[in-house]
Amino acid sequence: MHYLFNPLPHSGINNIIKAKDEFYYTSDGKKYIDLESGIWCASIGHNHNNINKIIHDQLNSLSHISKRVLPSNIDRIARKLLNLTEIQGKVMFLNTGSEAIEFSMILSKLVHKNGKIISFEDNYVSAYGQATQIDEKINIRPCLKCEQKECTKDCKVLKNKIDKNAIFIFDPFCFSRLVLIPPQKLIKRIEEEIKLNNGILIVDEITTGMGRTGKWFGYDHFEIKPDMIVLGKSLGNGYPVSAVIINEFIIKKVERTKFGYYQSHQNDPMGCKIAEGVIEEIQENKLIDVSRELGASFLSKLKEELFNIDCVEDIRGIGLLIGIQISRDITVEEIYNKLLEKRIIIGISFKYNVLNVFPPYTINPVLIPKIAESIKTVIFEIEQDKKRINKLSN
């Protein structure tokens, strides 16, 4: 590529011409398994026939609209999202996840102008804006092995962290691709402290929402009730639409301020209609159950295959959100490149040296043993090569 600015590490594959279900197809006839669902977006599969029909039909009727008028079906679609979350309130449809996060922060600051913004360490919640300027970060690593029955506010992890009117925003499980599973007692304690201190609890479901973890939303695993929920990525199955679900208390507070907000594609008919179609596909095909069951099967198979490989430090997951922690002796980039030769595209975190398996919920179960075996073969071969080189150098 001579003219495209793409400031990211690149696979070298630049001839993708088609995607379908869990596969990419290239102009030279190759087929790759996509274990990332695009950028965690195409959760119900690439190039989905029913979603494509919605796009086609909507293009032929109403694809864009002025912000001083609204499409006829938008309130019904907003209601569907509210019903899924059981929140009494309202919904704003936007374009991207980062924009939706920023919008949630703007609303929070209207309610609590000087509220301290708190999150977990390693939580990536936005590419820009206020959520990139966290005032307080909580390190939950000690909590992952805590054996106490209850989590108390006097624990050193939480002590003096949550102030009055605090704004707490967190991503339930992804943690910048680390895939960490916080204990329920911790999240319940944080919710309790936020509510006791008149704060606001925002859950970033951009990665974990719409069934990725085997429930509709990641926060469902903790039995908490957020004040705002941010959705993106999989809400449109790859089409850029996001949403902020806002409870009634915040809506009433904000409406008293005569707050105004304008973006070119907010509450757009195309994105809203696609979001409705994705919800219906997940419901009608019971894809929440599929995500949970396939995720358990995939995780079990990976643990079985990778059990005896020294450089694999941990394998953790929930639903179809799986992380494989690799020791620093081997880089995940090496593994990624070797898997490309086997026509498998896996997710990687350079920073944490983690492999990610976030496939579409519609992935063919027959592929799971093949994928797990390929990952094992590649890691084992790289590890053995490293050992031989080290032995010769010594």
Does an H or E element contain 184, and which? helix 184-196
Q: Residues with Cβ < 8 Å from 200, sequence gap 6 or more?
A: 108, 111, 112, 115, 166, 167, 168, 194, 227, 228, 250
Pick the CATH number of 16-34+286-393 from 3.40.640.10, 3.90.1150.10, 3.30.70.260, 3.40.50.620: 3.90.1150.10
For residues 77 and 267, the answer to whether their CB atoms sit within 8 Å is no
Residue 118 has pLDDT above 80, yes or no: yes
In which band, very low, low, confident or very high, does the pLDDT at 236 lie, cut at 50, 70 and 90?
very high
Q: Which CATH class is domain 50-284?
A: alpha beta
Residue 329's identity, in one-letter code, is D
Q: Residues with Cβ < 8 Å from 49, sequence gap 6 or more?
A: none
DSSP state, residue 115 = P
Q: Around Cβ 237, how many Cβ atoms within 10 Å? A: 28
- pTM for the complete prediction? 0.95
Over residues 69-73, mean pLDDT: 92
Q: Give, rounded to a whole angstrom, the gap between the first and last alpha carbons of the chain.
A: 42
Instruction: For residue 95, give both structure tokens.
Output: 């374009």
In which band, very low, low, confident or very high, does the pLDDT at 150 lie, cut at 50, 70 and 90?
confident
What is the location of CATH 3.40.640.10 in the chain?
50-284
Instruction: For residue 347, give both structure tokens.
Output: 């997710």
Residue-wise pLDDT for 180-222, tens only, equals: 999 999 999 999 999 999 999 999 999 999 999 999 999 999 9
Residue 387 has pLDDT above 90, yes or no: no
Taking alpha carbons only, the member of 212, 215, 206 closest to residue 169 is: 206
For residues 200 and 151, the answer to whether their CB atoms sit within 8 Å is no
DSSP state, residue 62 = -
Give pLDDT, residue 10: 84
In which band, very low, low, confident or very high, does the pLDDT at 55 lie, cut at 50, 70 and 90?
very high
What is the location of CATH 3.90.1150.10 in the chain?
16-34+286-393
